[in-house]
Amino acid sequence: MNTLSRIVELSLAELICGFVRALTSVRATWIVPPRPRGARVYFANHASHADFTLIWASLPLAIRSKVRPVAARDYWESGILRPYLARKVFRAVLIDRGRLQRDHNPVEAMAAVLEAGEPLIVFPEGTRNTQDDLQPFKSGLFHLAERCPTVEFVPVWIENMARVMPKGSFVPIPLLCSVTYGPPIAFDGSSKQDFLEKARAALLALKPDDESREGNRK
């Protein structure tokens, strides 16, 4: 890899992190220890294409330098700037939505990253959700847990990002955001439905109540 190119990419990553922190004054709460004991998947609610940058910016540098977001190829490979940011700056794992043939298996692509010692950020709802509740989780989280049963799955609740980047907006609005990292869950051999319900419940348990949300917005 060209050393100068990598320096530019790392510098851009830090600039983006600084911008996200300045825009959102993001506050991170760690119920789980920040430093993992092994491979780890951060799974979060999804309200904006910029959600992963908030998680990314709130992680300690030692983790942020390794963590890789999982993102939709059709969105991040369109245009001129997005492909560069996705591949070079964010080092995203780009997956083809709706293409689950053997030679286009996103679970294998994600498993390879975990086996290389790099954490992942995933959004099990599969698409942005502008509602106050979680959509049902897609089956990919279960298949990844089944494929990598020793991995920790850490629920991450992102609060207020939908108001920072409303759907259809290209200009972010400066607002206070928070990120809460909950206790990890592990695959215990349970059925797909049971595991996904457990994961969804673990994420919902981190959701602030209405009083806390009102305080965060002031």
- Where are any strands of DSSP class E within the chain? 27-30, 40-44, 68-72, 93-95, 120-122, 152-159, 178-181
Contacts of 102 (CB under 8 A, 6+ apart): none
Residue 189 to residue 80: CA distance in whole angstroms: 43
Residue 35: is its pLDDT beyond 90? no
Q: What phi and psi, each to the nearest 5 degrees, are found at residue 185?
A: -115, 160
Residue 180 to residue 203: CA distance in whole angstroms: 10
Residue 54: is its pLDDT beyond 50? yes
> CATH number of the domain at 3-217, out of 3.40.190.10, 3.20.20.70, 3.40.1130.10, 3.30.70.3400?
3.40.1130.10
Residue 113: is its pLDDT beyond 90? yes
Residue 106 to residue 182: CA distance in whole angstroms: 25
Residue 81's Cβ-count burial label (10 Å; 0-12, 13-18, 19+) is exposed
Tell me the per-residue pLDDT of 169-204, one tens digit each, with 9 for 90 and over. 666 778 899 999 999 999 999 999 999 999 999 999
* Residue 185: DSSP 8-state: B
Domain ranges of the chain: 3-217
User: What pLDDT does residue 131 have?
Assistant: 67
Residue 56 exposure: Cα atoms within 13 Å on the Cβ side: 26
The answer to whether the predicted template modeling score (pTM) of the entire model surpasses 0.85 is yes
H-state helical runs in 25-139: 51-58, 61-64, 73-76, 81-84, 106-115
Residue 210: is its pLDDT beyond 60? no
